[in-house]
Amino acid sequence: MTDDIDIQKHIKGLIDEEHGLRARLGTGEISVEDENHRLKAIEVELDQCWDLLRQRRAKREFGEDPAAAEVRDAKVVEGYRG
């Protein structure tokens, strides 16, 4: 992902996938286990994307290059929760 617009498009795609999974579960196309497994992965990826956007905005605010922001490991991003 190269810029904020790309990251936001990726976030939208993940949200669309999340909605699609819920619809597929409702029609019986996938199991609850399959939905939960993929939803968990989407949640982590969304957290990483939001974190990346926050990093980019902070760098921009302080006169640094937003392109220097990097996707952080899932363990780091998920560790913010508690």
DSSP state of 72: P
- What's the pLDDT at 79? 83
Is the backbone of residue 72 left (phi > 0), alpha (psi -120 to 50) or beta? beta
Mean pLDDT, range 2-29, rounded to an integer: 96
**Which residues fall within 8 angstroms of residue 42, CB to CB, at 6 or more apart?**
14, 17, 18, 21
Residue 70 is part of which domain span? 4-81
**pTM metric for this prediction:** 0.88
pLDDT of residue 18: 97
Which one has a higher pLDDT value, 2 or 4? Answer: 4
Dmax (CA) of the chain: 51
Query: How many independent structural domains does the chain possess?
Result: 1
**What sign does the CA torsion over 45, 47, 48, 50 have?**
positive
Mean pLDDT of the region 29-34: 96
What are the Cα distances from residue 26, in Å, to 3, 19, 30, 35, 39?
A: 35, 11, 8, 10, 14
